[in-house]
Amino acid sequence: MAVSDSQTVARIAAALRGSRRLLFITGAGISADSGLPTYRGIGGLYNDNLTDEDLPIEVALSGEMMAAAPQIPWKYIHQIERSCRNAHFNLAHTIIAEMQSHFDDVCVLTQNVDGFHREAGSRNLIEIHGNIHDLYCPACDYATTVPDYSGLTIPPPCPRCNAVLRPRVVLFGELLPNDAVEQLYEQLERGFDMVFSIGTTSIFPYVAEPVVEASRLSIPTVEINPSATAVSRCVDFKLAAGAAASLEQIWRRYQAP
């Protein structure tokens, strides 16, 4: 979708010129231009349907189920990974990574597990829900990173102890990883000059609160999302468009003489 509000784009670019530290909060919408479906588009799993096992997806993809019957969550994790396979980061991820050379710090807080921000080169990266390519063994702490699941037996056995590996992602009913939460608090404590919310409905408090708090402190806030979300009413600038098209126009305007 093309960005039509050139005045808003110009004002966002002007705010960027006065900023040194940026926070980008991203969700599934930023990967849409890579051809990835949102979770609700993957096999209808999130469309209020039961799985083949007559389970709600929140039960099938839970930490409790991973411990009790790992073949069930692995079946749907594998389905999600297969839907994402052969896709790569897009222009939106590239622009955010490129900004690292123009600002003192660019922090990315992403809910996505696709690894695209990492692949694009973002360094100050908080993968709050983990990364589907990182696998580990809960029994012996063996860990590895794989490009995809094409060569794996599902569920994959640990090569060290033969227990079942699992992806380092947050499943339903599990807590967020401590290291990611600590990194987020540390970054928020340092403060930001501008906060972007891109492609997320902002339904989780840890995703919405940095935007709400920035707005309260009169720090410029931007939302890029075709739909209205939980933070739409409190942001300074709203672009109801796709991530790649919006960021391309903002970045082009920022770099213009």
Active site residues: 129
Q: Which residues have CB under 8 Å from 222's CB, separation 6+?
A: 12, 15, 194, 195, 196, 197, 235, 236, 237, 238, 239
Do 31 and 116 meet the contact criterion of CB atoms below 8 Å apart?
Answer: yes
